[in-house]
Structure 1
């Protein structure tokens, strides 16, 4: 049975490849499928599905990664096999997109006050469909030579508590889980190994989570064992993916660097 990378981002959010390119590279890299899980948008899914139709035995799982706030901490919820035309889900993504654009403008204005001369136009060239995130602003800062890397931009300016940080739209985890389910999807807790230590993972799982992203590029082998055991104990779906944005290995996009057998094949 072929493997699927169940966590991939495209230009529709903050990845560097178009949905078409993601599918093409996933196929070239020997995968049997890929899940398109862009941040807070479904805009890349249709193009990916149309591209996949040109390949034999290649599956695109329609997905999303919703960014939520649990008390004061970020918790990401993946949704798989969603109806990406579902009106309520589409309306939520529009609200988030509008709020993100407003937040992006505020961050850019703050940066100007700090004597970093970048414009909204310079940031939008790194996006598709006008969905702005902090990584796009970080790329613009690096392109203009204000920082050497995107990571430096976050550490110096854009990270929480830094001079240009602006709070974003707050979506509670329970609301994200509910809307994924209403859209026919399966809610999965993303990269639990990256959660802040003050978060009780059982509190999140008890909100209606049906799966855990056990395997992730930033998980340690110890993380893998812990979350595999937990998923098996609670009889939750076991997923994994590269969380692909822009990484390359030997000049090839690292889509599939983490992949799993399809956990939903018998759902």
Structure 2
């Protein structure tokens, strides 16, 4: 089978960050969904990758696992995610950045819990830790707790009422910069991908400004094919990839077992773009 015949999903999450499946369970689901090449890209951590590789080895599975990470950054006060693919997970500079990001996540989670206590949501940090299953607490874990305990009807409302920018318990993040994230990914021998560029609630002009900034600092690719995407959006992102001379990636951004956001459930990349995997040896 040639690279072009593979089914790729280059953006997914496990319980190592805010996903609901363990790394092993994610691998097995990818195989079930006939994904040939999977990147695990947990938020600011690579802790799930060893288990995933071991699962493939133990079960002798026919799937290629790409070492990845999704680094949180700030650009014009907006949180922007940069995916690193084919990274060296033992890179010292990457390890140092992820430790910094992890410490920031811990401080932010504690600050969120404090704000929730002020609106009569007690012991939120401890409850969110249960959903995090021993890993770093994120807003997604707080959201699941808030829904489970009846403070919000669903995840979307939990963010709107409590955790989003207009919510009672919102705490602004203090992430690294886009240019630093790109530099670290490159020093870790990886490729830097601008994640879901059309999902930051930007106008087309501002989205292109973001893509231009990303390109200026050495970014390699943008995600062109995503879950829950119209044909018009797919072709707009393909056009942007070509306009800025960037490679094209695709990924479901899988977090949970829901039909509309499942592994491998993205549209094929348009023939007009150059896939990020063109020169990969699989």
CA distance, structure 1, for counterparts of residue 145 and residue 224 of structure 2: 33
SS at match of 1:7: coil
Instruction: Tell me what 2:272 maps to.
Output: none
Deviation string, structure 1 residues 84-142 (Cα, Å, up to 9, x no partner): 11122112111211211111111111111111123322111111443111010011111
1:49 to 53, 59, 64: 53
1:8-87 equivalent positions in 2, closer than 5 A: 8-53=12-57, 54-87=59-92
2:215–2:244 Cα contact (<8 Å) kept: no
SS at match of 1:62: strand
Deviation at 1:265, TM superposition (A): 4.7
SS at match of 1:239: strand
TM-score, with structure 2 as normaliser: 0.88
* Structure 1 unmatched ranges of 5 or more: none
Instruction: Tell me what 2:163 maps to.
Output: 158
CA distance, structure 2, for counterparts of residue 223 and residue 5 of structure 1: 18
The more displaced of 130-139 and 161-170 is 161-170
CA distance, structure 2, for counterparts of residue 102 and residue 67 of structure 1: 15
CA distance, structure 2, for counterparts of residue 90 and residue 127 of structure 1: 21
Q: What is the number of equivalent residue pairs in this alignment?
A: 265
TM-score, with structure 1 as normaliser: 0.93
1:172 pairs with 2:180: no
1:228-247 equivalent positions in 2, closer than 5 A: 228-247=238-257
SS at match of 2:237: helix
Deviation at 1:56, TM superposition (A): 4.2
1:97–1:131 Cα contact (<8 Å) kept: yes
1:1-267 equivalent positions in 2, closer than 5 A: 1-53=5-57, 54-195=59-200, 196-197=202-203, 198-199=206-207, 200=209, 201-249=211-259, 254-258=262-266, 263-267=276-280
Q: Which runs of 4+ in 1 moved over 4 A?
A: 259-262
CA distance, structure 2, for counterparts of residue 260 and residue 85 of structure 1: 32
* Structure 2 unmatched ranges of 5 or more: 270-274
Structure with higher RCO (Cα < 8 A, 6+ apart): 1
